[in-house]
């Protein structure tokens, strides 16, 4: 069991695990389409940082605590574009 001092930390841990499980179950075939999505470009600001974000999702790399919220938003944009 993971021990934390506050309830908010437990909620964040659950959110991170849900993100990783959901990312594992998704097919990443069309992830490159995010490079031309204006919402994704505006989220990161530059193409090079967007490329790093897309590669993290595509290669299923771990996401750091500092960039987790931005990476999760990028994944949400990808899920919306699939529908």
Look at residue 52 and give its three-state secondary structure.
helix
pLDDT of residue 9: 82
pTM: 0.82
For helices 7-25 and 68-82, angle between their N-to-C axes, nearest 10 degrees: 40
* Burial degree of 34 (CB within 10 A; 0-12, 13-18, 19+): buried
Give the model confidence (pLDDT) of 39-83 as tens digits.
Answer: 999 999 999 999 999 999 999 898 888 889 999 999 999 989 887
User: Residue 45, by phi and psi: left (phi above 0), alpha (psi -120 to 50) or beta?
Assistant: left
The yes-or-no verdict on residue 21 having pLDDT over 70 is yes
B/e letters for 62-75, b = 16+ CB within 10 Å, e = fewer, are ebeeeeeeebbebb
Which comes out higher in pLDDT, residue 56 or 8? 56
């Amino acid at each position: 069991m993971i021990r934390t001092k506050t309830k908010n930390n437990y909620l964040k841990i659950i959110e991170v695990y849900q993100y990783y499980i959901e990312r594992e179950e998704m097919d990443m075939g069309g992830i490159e389409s995010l490079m031309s999505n204006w919402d994704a470009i505006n989220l990161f600001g530059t193409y090079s940082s967007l490329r790093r974000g897309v590669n993290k999702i595509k290669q299923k790399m771990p996401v750091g605590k500092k960039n987790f919220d931005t990476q999760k938003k990028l994944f949400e944009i990808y899920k919306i574009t699939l529908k």
